[in-house]
Amino acid sequence: MDVLNIFEVIGTVAFAAAGALTGIHKHLDLFGVFMLALTTAVGGGIVRDVLIGINPPTAFVYPFFTIISLVTAIIVSINYQWINKFNNVILICDAVGLGAFTAAGANMSFLYEYHRLFITVMMAVLSGVGGGVIRDVFVRDIPFIFQKEVYAVASMVGAICFFYSKPFLLGNGAMYLCFFVTVSIRMVCM
Amino acid sequence: MDVLNIFEVIGTVAFAAAGALTGIHKHLDLFGVFMLALTTAVGGGIVRDVLIGINPPTAFVYPFFTIISLVTAIIVSINYQWINKFNNVILICDAVGLGAFTAAGANMSFLYEYHRLFITVMMAVLSGVGGGVIRDVFVRDIPFIFQKEVYAVASMVGAICFFYSKPFLLGNGAMYLCFFVTVSIRMVCM
Amino acid sequence: MDVLNIFEVIGTVAFAAAGALTGIHKHLDLFGVFMLALTTAVGGGIVRDVLIGINPPTAFVYPFFTIISLVTAIIVSINYQWINKFNNVILICDAVGLGAFTAAGANMSFLYEYHRLFITVMMAVLSGVGGGVIRDVFVRDIPFIFQKEVYAVASMVGAICFFYSKPFLLGNGAMYLCFFVTVSIRMVCM
């Protein structure tokens, strides 16, 4: 498994957990919780793939992301009483998902040879925030991105770090930096 | 007219009727009822075409689907008092539309030579549920698919039947089976 | 700068202003106002590009549209007290944006050599109404297009005028006619 996939896996698990917890808070039944976990986890990636022109989207070709979303939703549902004792679990999961998908999106813009800061930032931010926006629209919240300033900004700063560090950092250093910067900003300004 | 189109026509009429009835229930004016019928009927197909990479989507190229959506919406609006005497008309229309678009979506995954169970199921389910999700988001309901477990499951089981029966059934038998299975499961568990 | 861009610039500024004002009315904070202005202004164009198959969408490649959206949002936010003295400012901005994106969408259908009335109308209407629908979904309103009959009709009539006048009008006459017709119908029936 290469590093792109590791970030996508982290992001998928984190967003699936955030989606499942949101569904439980909104009193959806078990199936609704699963579906919301799934759309939150794979939604952002599908939007990104459609925008770049990957047809059909990766999430349609590899069942892997669907499976880990469902497993995460099941684990979260079973352990809900215990998880709920901690504060801000949804926000923390959301921050990790944001960082992971931002890093994956930024990296994909380089894989597709769009070596321009603006495209990298747009793809990173849209990959990062897409799943959360879809989740919020489905449960009839005003999307978080419109209400909490640091959300999109964290993703943006992470993407800029990726873009400028990429030529200097060996291997996947730029992705780790992007992930770390995005999650840190998001957590500090929670 | 080949059989793919027959399923798309059935699905379009059924979803247009479900959309128009939803619009009337939500007290939209006549034009709003038309627009909701249209987006419900062609929305799922447009989403499917974008995901597969058919540009522009079929619904943009052939006015036929728009026309039958509007004719259906007009007929439903005129006969609303009479239709409303029956229970569950929206749910029945929705079930028929779900079955028809599931069958059409599953078949399209074979036409595009994606002969893998997971892709077939994903495309069938997304084609089937897309129109209803769009309708629910526009009228500010939590999408039905998050609230009623049997909805996506019916579509999934129908798509699996299609996939495994396709090599054995002559002609369009697999599509008829898929349609029948999906609608039956959805109606039994209403 | 060619005339296509002039219409896109007019539409972007008008929709960014309408989005920013909507955000202020909905009591979003400053960042939420910016984000809503941006999604309203570039949303319709992104939807149009995805449907035609332009990957990645123009708004991702040229930062220009993002920049003018943000500048517009800032100007609107600063002058809000003064702007708010006039009635119907959101509706007027929305009408101008509708006309400009309808003209740009209709023209694009010709650039891509889809010389058929139905495709031209579909692309024009979807380009015109897309941004507003996205804005309304995000702030949890039933989209305006479902509530006000003249909205989509104005765009449709404008696109039909474009289609039939295009062979006869020199240069960009057809776009100016489409813009003028759409905005006029929308404003008269406000």
Residues of A with CB below 8 A from B119's CB? Answer: 56, 60-61
B137 touches chain A (CB under 8 A): yes
Residues of B with CB below 8 A from A66's CB? Answer: 118, 122
Which tens digit of pLDDT belongs to each residue from C108-134? 888 776 668 888 898 898 888 888 888
Contact across the interface for B53 and A57, Cβ inside 8 Å: no
Which tens digit of pLDDT belongs to each residue from C21-50? 989 988 888 888 888 999 899 888 888 888
Contact across the interface for B51 and A53, Cβ inside 8 Å: no
Distance CA A155, CA C132 (A): 25
Which tens digit of pLDDT belongs to each residue from A21-70? 989 988 888 888 888 999 899 888 888 888 888 878 888 888 888 899 99
Structure tokens of C128? Answer: 């015109």
Placement of tokens 């929709």 in the chain: C15
Residue spans of alpha helices (H) in chain B: 3-25, 30-52, 58-61, 64-78, 80-83, 89-111, 117-138, 150-165, 173-188
Q: How far is A38 from chain B (nearest CA, A)?
A: 11
Reply yes or no on whether the pLDDT at C167 is more than 80: yes
Chain B, nearest residue to C109 by Cα: B56
Distance CA A66, CA A62 (A): 8
CB atoms under 10 Å from CB of B91, counted, come to: 16
Contact across the interface for A35 and B152, Cβ inside 8 Å: yes
Structure tokens of C136? Answer: 């309304």
Reply yes or no on whether the pLDDT at C149 is more than 70: no
Contact across the interface for A56 and B143, Cβ inside 8 Å: no
| Contact by Cβ (8 Å): A101, A11 | yes
Residues of A with CB below 8 A from C70's CB? Answer: none
Q: Which of A40-49, B126-135, B159-168 has the highest mean pLDDT?
A: B159-168
A111 touches chain C (CB under 8 A): no
Kindly list the partner chains of chain C, i.e. chains with 3 or more CB atom pairs below 8 Å: A, B
- Taking phi over 0 as left and psi of -120 to 50 as alpha, with beta for the rest, B116 belongs to beta
Structure tokens of B155? Answer: 């579509």
Residues of A with CB below 8 A from C50's CB? Answer: 50-51
A30 touches chain B (CB under 8 A): yes
Task: Tell me which residues of chain A have a pLDDT lower than 50.
Answer: 1
| Contact by Cβ (8 Å): A130, A43 | yes
Across chain B, which distance is largest between two alpha carbons, in Å?
49
Residues of A with CB below 8 A from B48's CB? Answer: none
Alpha-carbon torsion (C101, C105, C106, C107), positive or negative: positive
Across chain A, which distance is largest between two alpha carbons, in Å?
49
Distance CA C55, CA B134 (A): 23
Reply yes or no on whether the pLDDT at B4 is more than 70: no
Residue B182, pLDDT score: 93
Q: What is the DSSP letter of C143?
A: P
Task: Provide the pLDDT confidence category of residue C1 given band limits of 50, 70 and 90.
Answer: very low
Which tens digit of pLDDT belongs to each residue from C64-74? 888 999 999 99
Residue C114, pLDDT score: 66
Q: How far is A110 from chain B (nearest CA, A)?
A: 22
Chain B, nearest residue to A60 by Cα: B119
Contact across the interface for A147 and C28, Cβ inside 8 Å: yes
Contact across the interface for B35 and C142, Cβ inside 8 Å: no
Closest CA relative to residue A132, chosen from A25, A19, A20, A46: A19
ipTM given for this complex: 0.77
Which tens digit of pLDDT belongs to each residue from B7-48? 888 889 999 999 999 899 888 888 888 889 998 998 888 888
Distance CA C146, CA B135 (A): 11
Which residue in the set B30, B50, B140 is minimally distant from C51, CB to CB?
B50
Contact across the interface for A138 and B142, Cβ inside 8 Å: yes
| CA-to-CA dists, residue B186 to B8, B15, B84, C40, C75, angstroms | 18, 15, 21, 37, 53
Residue A3, pLDDT score: 52
Specify the higher pLDDT residue, C142 or C128. Answer: C128
Residue B1, pLDDT score: 45
B173 touches chain C (CB under 8 A): no
Q: Which residues contact C156 (CB under 8 A, 6 or more apart)?
A: C121, C124, C125
Chain B, nearest residue to C126 by Cα: B60
In this prediction, what percent of chain B has a pLDDT beyond 70? 95
Task: Provide the pLDDT confidence category of residue B74 given band limits of 50, 70 and 90.
Answer: very high
Chain B, nearest residue to C151 by Cα: B31
